[in-house]
Structure 1
Amino acid sequence: MKPLIGRETTLCMSLSGRPGHFGSRFHNRLYELMGLDYVYKAFTTTDLPAAIGGIRALGIRGCAVSMPFKETVIPLLDRLEASAAAIDSVNTVVNEAGCLTGYNTDYIAVRLLLEKHEVDPQTPFLLRGSGGMAKAVVAALRDAGFVDGTVVARNEPSGRALAESHGYGWRPEIGEAQAPLLVNVTPLGMEGPEAETLAFPPPQIAACIVAFDVVALPSATPFLRAAESMGKRVITGHDVVVLQALEQFVLYTGRTPDENQVKEAAAFART
């Protein structure tokens, strides 16, 4: 049984431009199932330095970091673990006695999903996006052995730099380009003003074999719904968020839940 919240309770949190409830529900459900004296709360902020200072000063054990803070948080930390240092993007902060270390569990989740879905590294891909999450996904593709890829990003400095640093091509628009693997790493299709926007045009979706969308809310984005209707294989943002949240949970608590506990927490977080 989970202890009642008290003076010894360990606090974990998240920082996001658009706070959701998945992380809070996932982590808190696992705390309950495993009887851990932890609590998790989602936040947003307009003052990132003050928020990170609060984590350090108040002894908050861990913090998940989402858009738009994955890169701007880096100068505020004490050190970066290899997964974050390699791509200059942080999605997890762990506090060890006031020393803040940045990790990137998105990278780990994407690598695991590419393996689980047996996506052949010889598959050419088109990836749309060039932000912090895109860095994690592109690095995961490169390290999984994908050699033929193109980053599509209107922002030429960030898009070209991301592509060229990993040995891929860059283009500002999709145009007539097609690929067997399509990957969306933008907010297109996310709950909000772009909820009904397709991340890729219908002709590109029709020509692909695998559709991968990192948007977690909703997990059935317009892009993936279109892909499924055409009989394509899909990898969802929900898959990504569960695996990366599990990695965070282990970093924060030092405990690894069993498979059934993870499934129950993920199902609970979706409700």
Structure 2
Amino acid sequence: MTRRISKDTVLCMSLSGRPGNFGTRFQNHLYEALELDFIYKAFTTRDLPAAIGGVRALSIRGCAVSMPFKEACIPLLDGLAPSAEAIQSVNTVVNTDGVLIGHNTDYGAVRELLQRHGVSPDTPFAARGSGGMGKAVVSALRDAGFRDGIVVARNERTGRALAEVCGYRWQPELGEARPAMLVNITPVGMAGGREAEELAFPAEAIEASRVCFDVVALPVETPLIRAARAAGKTVITGGEVVVLQAVQQFILYTGVTPDAGRIAEAAAAALG
């Protein structure tokens, strides 16, 4: 069936420093499958205030927010949902009659995946990264009851601040630490980046770990995930994170909850 776009079609979008196709494919697949009069398009911008102003002025229903805009967009919004307020990081903006509210669906996705994979809160971890996604992941670990953690970040200001607010230690490098779970929250391993072929953690640390979690979704099989699989470790992929958080965005935008079959089809279409 050919989709018809009219004056009544609802626009949703994303803002990212390096736009990808996942959200566009995932959301549009569900819109079409469920016969919803919505359309989704990815954008980047060099003028964030103007872009957020456009969301408000043009009645754009929803806007996914990725690096480097997750924190910078907050002063431009009218309020924050509890998921974003608690960690001061936004990955989703919902526009209701010109009122823009920030949410964070990454946070909930991470907590759900830790539970799905049976990762005990007693597991010591090191999380590399302290940006907007870093806040969501480390806060999710804290709130899931993980007590023994290291925030690894070269930026001392953001790394130390995140570690202190969540009750963990900060280190600029992993060093000799060999925690049972390694979590990459940086662009290391991301397709098209300068570090696309690099491991987010040393091979020795991967070998000593039990769980490797990489939030990078493109590709799903990052160098870290490939190395961890080869070593027989439990892996949690960025593909899993991005699907779960995208489902929550879809629900926020449309008010419709797709069933598991529809979600699996959309994920296959978007990640394939």
TM range (shorter): over 0.9
Deviating more after overlay: 38-47 vs 191-200: 191-200
CA deviation after TM superposition for structure 1 residue 70, in Å: 0.3
CA deviation after TM superposition for structure 1 residue 270, in Å: 1.5
What letter corresponds to residue 266 of structure 1 in structure 2? A
Whether 2:112 is the aligned partner of 1:135: answer: no
SS at match of 1:72: coil
**What is the aligned partner in structure 1 of residue 228 from structure 2?**
227
Alignment of 1:45-194 (within 5 A): 45-192=45-192, 193-194=194-195
What letter corresponds to residue 215 of structure 1 in structure 2? V
**What is the aligned partner in structure 2 of residue 198 from structure 1?**
199
Whether 2:57 is the aligned partner of 1:32: answer: no
**What is the aligned partner in structure 2 of residue 15 from structure 1?**
15
- Mapped partners of 2:208, 2:2: distance in 1: 50
Whether 2:259 is the aligned partner of 1:267: answer: no
CA deviation after TM superposition for structure 1 residue 264, in Å: 0.3
SS at match of 1:100: strand
Structure 1's consecutive aligned runs of 4 or more residues displaced over 2 angstroms after TM superposition are none
SS at match of 2:244: helix
- Mapped partners of 1:114, 1:264: distance in 2: 23
Q: Structure 2: which 5+ residue stretches go unaligned?
A: none
**What is the aligned partner in structure 2 of residue 242 from structure 1?**
243
What letter corresponds to residue 179 of structure 1 in structure 2? P
- Mapped partners of 2:58, 2:229: distance in 1: 46
Percent identity of equivalent pairs: 67
Q: Is the 8 A contact 2:147 2:168 kept in 1?
A: yes
SS at match of 2:178: coil
- Mapped partners of 1:174, 1:3: distance in 2: 50
Q: Is the 8 A contact 1:2 1:32 kept in 2?
A: no
How many corresponding residue pairs?
271
Give me the TM-score of the superposition, normalised by structure 2: 0.98
Deviations, residues 151-199 of structure 1 (Å, cap 9, x unaligned): 0001111100000101001111111111000000000000122110110
SS at match of 1:112: helix
Q: Is the 8 A contact 1:2 1:33 kept in 2?
A: no
- Mapped partners of 2:189, 2:50: distance in 1: 31
Q: Is the 8 A contact 2:81 2:103 kept in 1?
A: yes
- Mapped partners of 2:115, 2:204: distance in 1: 27
Q: Is the 8 A contact 2:92 2:103 kept in 1?
A: yes
CA deviation after TM superposition for structure 1 residue 4, in Å: 1.2
- Mapped partners of 1:62, 1:23: distance in 2: 12
- Mapped partners of 2:120, 2:259: distance in 1: 29
SS at match of 2:102: strand
Q: Is the 8 A contact 1:2 1:34 kept in 2?
A: no
Deviations, residues 235-256 of structure 1 (Å, cap 9, x unaligned): 0000000000000000000000
CA deviation after TM superposition for structure 1 residue 3, in Å: 5.2
What letter corresponds to residue 144 of structure 1 in structure 2? A
- Mapped partners of 1:171, 1:131: distance in 2: 15
